[in-house]
Amino acid sequence: MELIATLAGIVAVAWLLSIPARRFEKRTGKKMGRHAASGMLSVVNELFSPSAANAAVVLAEQKERRVGIPAGEDKDFERNRITIVVQDKS
């Protein structure tokens, strides 16, 4: 019975502490920032799983990379034609 009371207390405290975040989200339509928690978790990730931390760095670099957009005259539509073949169902 004590375990159930303890779990109910933890849930109640978590619910009470989340009220300001829910009110902020309802009022502004934006979620509150979670940057500090992600920073702490990235430190733990780097300590206990360095390969996963390296993969996260590579993914972040790929997200931020710059890709050149070709100009309209650079596209060669004459040599690269799209052909659609429809099979006869009879």
pLDDT at position 73, please? 66
Task: Give tens-digit pLDDT for 50-64.
Answer: 898 888 889 989 988
pLDDT at position 57, please? 87
Q: What is the CA radius of gyration of the chain?
A: 26
Report pTM.
0.37
Q: What are the tokens at 81?
A: 């034609």
Instruction: Look at residue 55 and give its three-state secondary structure.
Output: helix
Q: What is the DSSP letter of 80?
A: S
